[in-house]
Structure 1
Amino acid sequence: MQLLAVGLNHTTAPVSLREQLALAPEQLGQAVQAARGWFARIDPHPGAHVDEAAILSTCNRTELYAASAAPNSLDASAHFLADYHRLNVADLRPHLYMLPQDDAVRHAFRVASGLDSMVLGEPQILGQMKDAVRLADAAGGLGTYLHQLFQRSFAVAKEVRSTTEIGAHSVSMAAASVRLSQRIFDSIADQHVLFIGAGEMIELCATHFAAQNPRSITIANRTMDRGESLATRFNGQAIRLADLPERLAQFDIVISSTASTLPLIGKGLVERAIKARRHKPMFMVDLAVPRDIEPEVARLDDVFLYTVDDLAQVVQTGREGRQAAVAQAESIIETRVQSFMHWVGDRAVVPVIRDLHESSEAMRLTELERARRLLARGDDIDTVLEALSKGLTAKFLHGPQQALHSAQGDERARLAALLPQLFRNRR
């Protein structure tokens, strides 16, 4: 079985491509099953093993983790991602990282620990990975290899966060949004803030903006119950998404992060809002992938639209000061990678050891049955035991002797050096 991780993230692909590969949580199970089916179709020995798959999809990355014995499984993974999302593999491949074996394990450990995030050390990715693993397990995607990989990923992440300062002083996407808005407005306290969505990211953003005491906070969400629950926490109000066309012009700051697969706010809607505001500036942050706000909105005068990629420079603040923690975290990860690959190596020889036990047991039973027949016939017990021991020895040595006689050149020399180690007396 080959372990692999194939995907793209904020360092290899722009948001315009990432949103084409993004999958909502309710879509992950079907995608995992499709990936397993893809590997099974190209497996020359179907049924001999079980292909495993899990998919992690966030605003910054979409990654396929797999364990497969299919030939060229790395290349097959790239073709799967392109085919599943109806993309040209030649256009997608330059943006993909394709990591086999220990590189895949190292990547999973780094992702879980927050070392591969746009916000270095951010904790949100660990929860997202745990959710992805839970959904993959429910879809039948996890087997021995991936289950062990992710459990160790979570353990490594806990070790990194508890023994290093990797998350200290990190600038979150929410904090970066506040900083950017302060470049547009002298005081957030004078502004009306609208949050679209009611998930974890919006909750985090609302917490940061609420600390600036804005004039008002409004939550727009598909379901009023959830929107009202979040709005109550920040002394705000809730509206329905359907009310946006009539209400958008009232807001100076708009932060959006939903799981919608299509934009919620189009250029025309924002144009009308800006006109109604008499061209008073509007600051907008789209934290969703796929995007909630049409990219064309950025071309409008008096509108300042930022995406997750635009926030990258802001969130790098303080990164240099955490390099010592990064080095410490990388050292921990490297040690754990080697430990995991040792476990993988042990797993690889399990079938060989099982076959040796089975063949040895068959030899033992054959010789034992022969000895019992001789004893039942009345033969001398010492003679029978002597024959039993010689028979077992001859059978155990037959295979190695045949291999040694059949080999030639370097292969014979390697066997000649190896066999004495295998049959050395261990008393």
Structure 2
Amino acid sequence: MIFTLGLNHHSAPLAIRERVAFGADKLQHALADLTRNRPVKEVAILSTCNRTEIYCAAESPEVVIDWLAQFHQVERNELAPYLYTHDQPDAVRHAFRVASGLDSMVIGEPQILGQMKDAVRAAEESGTLGTQLHKLFQRSFSVAKEVRTTTAIGANIVSMAAAGVHLAERIFPSIAGQNVLFIGAGEMIELCAAHFCAQKPKQVTIANRTVERGRALAEQYGGSAIRLDELAEHLPRHDIVVSCTASPLPIIGLGMVERAIKARRHRPMFMVDLAVPRDIEPEVGELDDVFLYTVDDLAQVVASGLESRQAAVVEAEGIIGERVREFLGWLQSRETVPVIRGLRDAAERMRRHEMEHALKLLAKGENPEKVLEQLSQRLTNKFLHAPTQTLNLAEGEDRSQLQTAASRLFHLHPDAH
């Protein structure tokens, strides 16, 4: 049975989401730990700034919920109000909707697809992605492609990066006159850099743990790169700060920002924290001269573009519904695999036994034509013995059902009865 459980921006506030986020450095260990000595056959973990979800093939989701709370050292009753659990077919539908961007904070955004593929890659490398989940995710990716190419779900998309620029323009008359600092060099920062730098800011700086990677991004926009441990020194010179790293703890504290504001003589500073867990201590937002926005704050901006995409959403849901039915059909067909394998194994044993018997007769000099005739008769009798006996011994409704099944299985016509 396939289950999905987790929490996202719809069900849980940021303060809860950041407590159960899985950093890239913890993911492999988490996958191995969950499948060790637990009745969980397959598992993949999707952890982004907006969601933490566990996709698994297991008998029950309860053991996974207990593990999630234990792994992050959070009381289960603290998580319970925010957790959702989906089993078949809802788990399949949920995976298709997430991949297609229908469950995102920004409807139709394409970034989630890449994050889902990263989650699958991590599960493959950990050896926790079995047949069912592999098929589920491959179908999810093909459904996402179909939705994106046949509907207008991604048209005129309002991204988180564009929303950040929109908010910054409320604070400053023009971004062109401002110094912008990006912290991190991942995909989200790359998107934000593209949007902010399109406004031609005065100066661009990239702060990253790996300076080489930061420098590569900075050079695209004529900027410079610094190390993360140089933040305190450089922060006062920047008017706009956008941060998104994988750090498990805040990298910009209240004291650092207070000193920066003092050095800036209280000129306003606009800060966007897109990380989960947060990169910037929440208390920073209480300072008079700081405008701090989180991913949840940006959601209010992007929601305004939702109405224009509603028609595409309805169309996409129709596609997903049809593909869910197809996938459930595939899952059900897998239930007959052991029976088919058993049937073929039994037939193969009969064939080998009769073949050996026929070869012995031929070795004795028996007439080949007579041996072949006998071989075919003995095989036919052996193949049909069990179903014929079962039909003869059946009574009432059971006999009627078996007769119908036999007609379908052996493609019998009415006049063959």
TM-score by length of 2: 0.90
Q: How far apart, CA to CA, are the structure 1 residues paired with 2:103 and 2:388? A: 53
Question: 1:288 offset after TM fit, Å?
Answer: 0.5
Provide, for residues 213-234 of structure 1, a one-character-per-residue CA deviation record: whole Å limited to 9, x for no partner. 2221111112221112111111
For structure 2, which runs of at least 5 residues remain unmatched after alignment? 413-417
Q: How far apart, CA to CA, are the structure 1 residues paired with 2:250 and 2:382? A: 78
Specify which of 381, 397, 400 is matched with residue 417 of structure 1: 400
Q: Does 1:16 align with 2:6?
A: no
In structure 2, relative to structure 1, the CA distance for the partners of 1:383 and 1:267 (3 Å cut) is closer
In structure 2, relative to structure 1, the CA distance for the partners of 1:132 and 1:386 (3 Å cut) is closer
Correspondences of 1:267-306 after superposition (within 5 Å):
267-306=254-293
Q: Which amino acid in structure 1 is aligned with residue 387 of structure 2?
A: F
Provide, for residues 194-238 of structure 1, a one-character-per-residue CA deviation record: whole Å limited to 9, x for no partner. 111111111111111112222211111122211121111111122
In structure 2, relative to structure 1, the CA distance for the partners of 1:248 and 1:359 (3 Å cut) is same
Q: Is the 8 A contact 1:368 1:388 kept in 2?
A: no
Aligned to 1:88: 75
In structure 2, relative to structure 1, the CA distance for the partners of 1:386 and 1:329 (3 Å cut) is closer
User: Aligned-residue CA RMSD in angstroms?
Assistant: 2.6
Specify which of 325, 331, 338 is matched with residue 312 of structure 2: 325
Correspondences of 1:115-264 after superposition (within 5 Å):
115-264=102-251
Q: How far apart, CA to CA, are the structure 2 residues paired with 1:245 and 1:60? A: 28
Q: Is the 8 A contact 2:350 2:379 kept in 1?
A: no
Correspondences of 1:32-71 after superposition (within 5 Å):
32-37=31-36, 40-42=37-39, 51-68=41-58, 71=59
Deviates more, 1:255-264 or 1:204-213: 204-213
Q: How far apart, CA to CA, are the structure 2 residues paired with 1:392 and 1:231? A: 73
Q: Which amino acid in structure 2 is aligned with residue 30 of structure 1?
A: H
Q: Is the 8 A contact 1:29 1:135 kept in 2?
A: yes
How many pairs does the alignment contain?
A: 406
Question: 1:88 offset after TM fit, Å?
Answer: 1.4
Aligned partner of residue 55 in structure 1, secondary structure: strand
Aligned partner of residue 193 in structure 1, secondary structure: strand
Aligned partner of residue 115 in structure 1, secondary structure: coil
For structure 1, which runs of at least 5 residues remain unmatched after alignment? 44-50, 406-411
Aligned partner of residue 311 in structure 1, secondary structure: helix
Aligned partner of residue 316 in structure 1, secondary structure: helix
Q: Is the 8 A contact 2:153 2:316 kept in 1?
A: yes
In structure 2, relative to structure 1, the CA distance for the partners of 1:351 and 1:240 (3 Å cut) is same
Deviates more, 1:348-357 or 1:331-340: 348-357
Aligned partner of residue 305 in structure 2, secondary structure: coil
Q: How far apart, CA to CA, are the structure 1 residues paired with 2:273 and 2:240? A: 11
Q: Is the 8 A contact 2:182 2:207 kept in 1?
A: yes
Aligned partner of residue 239 in structure 1, secondary structure: strand
Deviates more, 1:343-352 or 1:215-224: 215-224
Q: How far apart, CA to CA, are the structure 1 residues paired with 2:175 and 2:310? A: 33
TM-score by length of 1: 0.88
Q: How far apart, CA to CA, are the structure 1 residues paired with 2:170 and 2:271? A: 13
Aligned to 1:106: 93
In structure 2, relative to structure 1, the CA distance for the partners of 1:85 and 1:399 (3 Å cut) is farther
Question: 1:417 offset after TM fit, Å?
Answer: 3.3
Q: How far apart, CA to CA, are the structure 2 residues paired with 1:227 and 1:390? A: 76
Q: How far apart, CA to CA, are the structure 2 residues paired with 1:366 and 1:29? A: 50
In structure 2, relative to structure 1, the CA distance for the partners of 1:216 and 1:330 (3 Å cut) is same
In structure 2, relative to structure 1, the CA distance for the partners of 1:60 and 1:384 (3 Å cut) is closer
Q: Is the 8 A contact 1:364 1:392 kept in 2?
A: no
In structure 2, relative to structure 1, the CA distance for the partners of 1:114 and 1:419 (3 Å cut) is same
Q: Which amino acid in structure 1 is aligned with residue 38 of structure 2?
A: R
Percent identity over the alignment is: 56
Deviates more, 1:355-364 or 1:270-279: 355-364
Question: 1:359 offset after TM fit, Å?
Answer: 3.5
Correspondences of 1:328-339 after superposition (within 5 Å):
328-339=315-326
